[in-house]
Structure 1
Amino acid sequence: MRTKHVLLIEDEPHIAEAIRFLLGRDGWGVRHLTEGADLVARLAEQPVDVVVLDLMLPGRSGLEILAELRADPATAALPVLMLTARGQARDREAAERAGATGFLAKPFANADLVATLNALLPPEALDAAQSGATG
């Protein structure tokens, strides 16, 4: 079976480890970064199906990183799930304006994270994961 691949950009180690464990149980291959420097170049080297991006990161915000992803033709259509401890409507609206594909406020239910990521999978990735193709 082809593994679904996600890049998690989360600076909080306990949250990152919990997400990695949860997604690994659901068949996802998880790469983790604590910040988004050189993200577009890293994605060119190792593409993923979905990015999970924390809104509040040291150095550069998730919104700045998302803007960089959307500005590059190679990553402009890549699904991005924005996570934030700040779940106010204005945060959701800012993420949507920046091009986030999905949004979850922390704390979130484990099932919600898995369901949201599976829903964000591009059809070709979902088809390959379900058909047992290798990858």
Structure 2
Amino acid sequence: MTHSVLIVEDDDSIVEALNFLMETAGFDVRIAREGPRAIELVKEAVPDVMILDVMLPGCDGFEVARNIRSHQLTKHIPILMLTAKNRPIDQEKAHEIGVTAFMTKPFSTREVVEKVKGMLNS
């Protein structure tokens, strides 16, 4: 069974890298470049896992995660928050919302793939 991943990121180079990594790892990939679009895509088809940036146009990743966690059909989605924001307060906020894992940019490509696979197996 192929798992699906929703990449929510507005930086083209990071989108390209994550898309390549996830497809190479065997995932079906969808991409949203804005917060509101991510919420729409989740409603259209619930992904198995989400990679979510914090700084996004429309609404930030914290708001996207809050929205995902507030609905019965989507509250279970594992969320990897992948962001340049590395202050402890950002990590605490992500944890309070219910983000599954938090990684900072720049990131190790191998670690991202391992983290995503690990979130699916837990």
- TM-score, L = length of structure 2: 0.92
Q: Distance in 2 between matches of 1:117 and 1:95?
A: 17
Give the paired residue count.
122
Q: Which residue of 2 aligns with 1:96?
A: 95
Matching of residue 81 in structure 1 with residue 75 in structure 2: no
Q: Distance in 2 between matches of 1:93 and 1:37?
A: 23
Q: Which residue of 1 aligns with 2:27?
A: 28
Task: Return the structure number with greater relative CO, CA threshold 8 A, min gap 6.
Answer: 1
CA change 1:44–1:61 in 2 (3 A) is closer
Q: Which residue of 2 aligns with 1:8?
A: 7
Q: Which residue of 2 aligns with 1:18?
A: 17
Structure showing greater Rg: 1
Q: Which residue of 1 aligns with 2:71?
A: 72
Residue identity opposite 1:24 in structure 2: E
Matching of residue 58 in structure 1 with residue 57 in structure 2: yes
Residue identity opposite 1:17 in structure 2: E
- TM-score, L = length of structure 1: 0.84
Query: Which consecutive unaligned segments of at least 5 residues does structure 2 have?
Result: none
Q: Distance in 1 between matches of 2:22 and 2:65?
A: 22
Moved segments of 4+, more than 2 Å:
38-45
Q: Per-residue CA shift, 1:87-122, capped at 9, x if unaligned?
A: 122211111111101111000101110010001115
1:38 Cα offset (Å): 5.3
**Identical-residue share of aligned pairs (%):** 37
Query: Which consecutive unaligned segments of at least 5 residues does structure 1 have?
Result: 124-135
Q: Which residue of 2 aligns with 1:111?
A: 110
